[in-house]
Amino acid sequence: MRFIICILLFVVATMASISYPYYDLNDAPALFEKFIIEHNRHYKNRYDKLIHYKAFVKSLIDINQNNAAQSGAMFDINEFADYTPEETENLFGFKL
């Protein structure tokens, strides 16, 4: 019985110490440039880059909101963070 209580306390302590990412939107331009380098992104022109930047900022907002809910899932920037809704729909076959 003590063993189970110790395990439960360990799990609770571990979950409490998890820090969920939060992104300051003022850092979005620098985060986007870092994202472009890390994911080897190339855009057709300035307008295309702006469209994907806006999608990236929307992803940051969604990440912050989802992590604030602390549902047990952790959200972060990934390779899809600059996808527009149309690109996401084409990739996954449904609207998110």
At residue 92 the predicted structure's pLDDT band, cuts being 50, 70 and 90, is confident
Dihedral (CA of 23, 25, 30, 35) sign: positive
- Which residues, in sequence order, are CB contacts of 43 under 8 Å at separation 6+? 49, 52
For 75-84, what is each residue's pLDDT tens digit?
999 999 999 9
First to last CA, the chain: 45
For 49-63, what is each residue's pLDDT tens digit?
999 999 999 999 999
Stretch 35-61: mean pLDDT, rounded?
A: 98
Q: What is the fold of 2-92?
A: Helix Hairpins (1.10.287)
Is pLDDT above 60 for 29? yes
At residue 13 the predicted structure's pLDDT band, cuts being 50, 70 and 90, is low
Stretch 20-49: mean pLDDT, rounded?
A: 98
